[in-house]
């Protein structure tokens, strides 16, 4: 535990200059705004797209742990599923859109798999966004077992005709100090490639923001683990934008109508090899800091 705290203190000392104003603070009377998207890839989701084109009610399930539940958000309206629902409703007028929050803090892939049918499949969504991996990183889980569980869950959803987006971890001091954050982010990306699921990477998103002058800590709450309201809002905006960019354009009218290009399947490697685990910090104690859970 002491080694983890020392690693966290060092990370914060390097990230926050002495005497700096609180990260993410906005001038008085000015609401924080989300930075421009640094290039999040479009998410091509054929089942969701077909439902939108057929003008059927849209149902999306957000499955995950505390990043989905919205720990450290001011209230339920400030969670990323609520923000995503608001954005999609504005972008798709006249189409009923519901994003169902099925996040439970502290849960890992195994416990989320156990409730997948009741909390996700039974609601008959077109899309499930599965945020997973943070608790495995925090508690030094087995990356091979993690990969098998998530891959099995993705295929279970796909067999039911459900699109799947996997969401990796936020860049927060406590996750980075765990030493396994990059390992599980890499493992999740490998599962996405293997199964054909889409990947929405918060790690890549936040790195992009930082390169453009928006420090990662500006999107992290005072527990140094979860998002703050701004973080949840900006993640939802980037995710919603990626979903909307992946939709096929409406067909043109008249003789010049052009068919939309077909969506090609992703390559699926025949075998999965997890990335190497990062070495533990010298003097790392066996006991790990207790956590409320994250995504």
pLDDT at 64 over 50: yes
In 138-248, DSSP assigns E strands to: 163-167, 198-200
pLDDT at 269 over 90: no
**pLDDT per residue as tens digits for the range 126-182:** 999 999 999 999 999 999 999 999 999 999 999 999 999 999 999 999 999 999 999
Query: Residue 191: inside a domain, yes or no?
Result: yes
pLDDT at 107 over 90: yes
Query: Residue 89: inside a domain, yes or no?
Result: yes
Query: Residue 181: inside a domain, yes or no?
Result: yes
Domain residue limits at 51 = 41-245
Residues contacting 114, CB < 8 A, separation 6+:
none
**In the structure, what pLDDT confidence band is assigned to residue 249 with cuts at 50, 70 and 90?**
confident
Query: Residue 26: inside a domain, yes or no?
Result: no
Task: Tell me the mean pLDDT in the region 219-229.
Answer: 97
**DSSP string covering 123-181:** G--SEEEEE--HHHHHTT--HHHHHHHHHHHHHHHHHTT-EEEEE-----HHHHHTS-H
Query: Residue 93: inside a domain, yes or no?
Result: yes
The CATH number covering residue 167 comes to: 3.40.50.1110
Instruction: Kindly state the percentage of the chain with pLDDT values over 70.
Output: 74
Query: Residue 252: inside a domain, yes or no?
Result: no
pLDDT at 278 over 70: no
Query: Residue 195: inside a domain, yes or no?
Result: yes
Task: Tell me the mean pLDDT in the region 104-111.
Answer: 98
**pLDDT per residue as tens digits for the range 200-217:** 999 999 999 999 999 999
pLDDT at 285 over 60: no
Query: Residue 280: inside a domain, yes or no?
Result: no
Quote the pTM value: 0.79
Domain count, the chain: 1
CA 162/CA 209 separation, integer angstroms: 31
């Amino acid at each position: 535990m002491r080694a983890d705290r020392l690693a966290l203190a060092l990370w914060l000392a390097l990230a926050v200059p002495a005497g700096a104003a609180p990260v993410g603070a906005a001038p008085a009377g000015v609401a924080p705004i989300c930075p421009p998207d640094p290039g999040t890839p479009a998410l091509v989701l054929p089942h969701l797209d077909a439902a939108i084109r057929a003008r059927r009610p849209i149902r999306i399930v957000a499955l995950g742990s505390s990043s989905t539940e919205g720990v450290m958000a001011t209230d339920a309206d400030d969670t990323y599923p609520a923000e995503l629902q608001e954005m999609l409703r504005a972008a798709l007028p006249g189409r009923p859109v519901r994003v169902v929050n099925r996040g439970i803090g502290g849960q890992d892939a195994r416990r989320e798999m156990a409730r997948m049918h009741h909390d996700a499949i039974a609601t008959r969504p077109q899309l499930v966004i599965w945020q997973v991996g943070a608790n495995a990183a925090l508690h030094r889980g087995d990356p091979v077992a993690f990969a098998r569980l998530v891959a099995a869950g993705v295929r279970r959803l796909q067999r039911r005709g459900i699109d799947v987006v996997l969401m990796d971890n936020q860049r927060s001091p406590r996750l980075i100090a765990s030493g396994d954050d990059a390992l599980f982010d890499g493992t999740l990306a490998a599962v996405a490639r293997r199964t054909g699921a889409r990947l929405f990477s918060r790690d890549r998103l936040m790195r992009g923001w930082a390169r453009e002058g928006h420090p990662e800590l500006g999107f992290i709450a005072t527990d140094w683990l979860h998002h703050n309201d701004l973080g949840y809002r900006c993640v939802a905006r980037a995710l919603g934008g990626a979903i909307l960019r992946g939709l096929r354009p409406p067909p043109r009218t008249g003789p010049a109508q052009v068919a939309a290009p077909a969506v090609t399947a992703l390559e699926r490697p025949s075998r999965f090899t997890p990335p190497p685990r990062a070495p533990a910090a010298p003097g790392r104690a066996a006991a790990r800091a207790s956590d409320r859970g994250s995504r």
